[in-house]
């Protein structure tokens, strides 16, 4: 994370050496969330097969939930005194969730891949929670708890959906 321009420095009671690790972890989670949102929408648009309607609706609901976290994550970065993502290129440099540009992905493979991606996001959220706790940033920790619960629910739904077929 580059230094924050003076005009964007948000006053915070967090120690200056605590801001960077929390902001960096949140920016990586934001990049992962953007990547997961796009992949989920991609799969929503391209799902095919006997469970089309159920999968199409599930993936749309999950994409909307992920989209709903993006602003809160970015605003938390700003509240702790950091700056956040500025471009698709910035997202690409930070994301750990891999893109899927395949021409065709079976519905079963879509569900399995998104399940794994949500588990990766959960792992990153747990690491960020530890960094927030270390920094004494209980507000970020509380938000991360909510985001973790949402990702766990998505992973659970995908797991159960994948068991059926």
Reply yes or no on whether the pLDDT at 90 is more than 60.
yes
All domains of the chain in start order, with CATH:
17-95+102-163 (1.20.1260.10)
Q: How far apart, in whole angstroms, are the C-alpha atoms of residue 145 and residue 148? A: 5
Sign (positive or negative) of CA dihedral 151, 84, 31, 120: negative
What would the pLDDT profile of 33-88 be if each residue is shown by its tens digit? 999 999 999 999 999 999 999 999 999 999 999 999 999 999 999 998 889 999 99
18 token code pair: 């605590």
The pLDDT, as a whole number, for residue 11 is 57
Q: How confident is the model at residue 1 (pLDDT cuts 50, 70, 90)?
A: very low
For residue 62, which of 159, 155, 165, 163 has the smallest C-alpha distance?
Answer: 155
Q: b/e map of 118-127 (b: 16 or more CB within 10 Å)? A: bbbbbebbee
15 token code pair: 């120690």
The count of C-alpha atoms lying within 13 angstroms of the C-alpha of 53, restricted to the half-sphere facing its C-beta, is 0
Q: How confident is the model at residue 20 (pLDDT cuts 50, 70, 90)?
A: confident
pTM of the predicted structure, to 2 decimals: 0.91
Residue 12 carries which DSSP code?
A: -
Residue listed under structure tokens 């065709």: 104
Mean of per-residue pLDDT scores for the chain? 92
No. of helices (H) and no. of strands (E), the chain? 5, 0
């Amino acid at each position: 994370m580059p230094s924050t321009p003076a005009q964007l420095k948000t006053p915070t009671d967090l120690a200056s050496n605590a801001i960077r690790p929390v902001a960096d972890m949140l920016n990586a989670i934001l990049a992962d969330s953007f990547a997961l949102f796009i992949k989920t929408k991609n799969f929503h648009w391209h799902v095919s097969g006997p469970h089309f309607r159920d999968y199409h609706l599930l993936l749309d609901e999950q994409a909307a939930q992920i989209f709903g976290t993006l602003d809160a994550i970015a605003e938390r970065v700003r509240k702790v005194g950091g700056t956040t993502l500025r471009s698709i290129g910035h997202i690409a440099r930070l994301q750990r969730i891999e893109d899927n540009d395949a021409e065709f992905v079976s519905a079963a493979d879509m569900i399995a891949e998104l399940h794994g991606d949500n588990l990766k996001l959960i792992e990153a959220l747990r690491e960020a929670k530890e960094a927030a706790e270390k920094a004494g940033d209980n507000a970020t920790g509380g938000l991360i708890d909510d985001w973790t619960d949402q990702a766990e629910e998505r992973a659970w739904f995908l797991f159960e959906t994948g068991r059926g077929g």
